[in-house]
Amino acid sequence: MITEFSLATHGAMDDYAHLVSLLDNAPLFSYYNYSAPREKPLFPPGTPYTSYDIARKITNKIQPAQLTIVLSGMYAAYSDWIKYEIDESVRMGMPVIGVVPRGQQRIPSYIQDNATEMVNWNTASIVSAIRRNVR
């Protein structure tokens, strides 16, 4: 089975790349990532957009996923778009998995309060949480 998820990462591209690498190398695990990293932006460079446009694009990216993974660094506490992704996932009845970046001491309360499950930064715990929560 291929797991499909959206990965909320605003402002954490190094953590994003590391997490994708962990999942790519996980044994017996296949997935499709609906997130929008720099190499797959929501909008082509130079495209004018509004907050409504961004929200609509994020919702469309999340909708086909089976769950949402949120990198739970403190940068997330200051991102309205990560909150929006969490809210949309919850509204759609989609599980939200919070991943605590390696060495992170504090976790944004918004993520803790809304995550279906919080896991530490290692392949086994992340993949196990995905398998437990996939819809």
User: What distance in Å separates the CA atoms of residue 109 and residue 112, rounded to the nearest whole number?
Assistant: 5
Regarding pTM above 0.75, the answer is yes
Mean pLDDT, rounded, for 101-119: 89
Q: Greatest CA separation found in the chain? A: 41
Is the confidence at residue 98, as pLDDT, over 60?
yes
pLDDT digits (tens, 9 = 90+) for 26-73: 999 998 888 876 656 666 777 767 888 888 988 998 899 999 999 887
Q: Pick from 121, 116, 128: which is nearest to 21 by CA?
A: 121
Q: Give the integer Cα–Cα distance in Å for 130 and 27.
A: 14
Retrieve residue 34's tokens.
């609906």
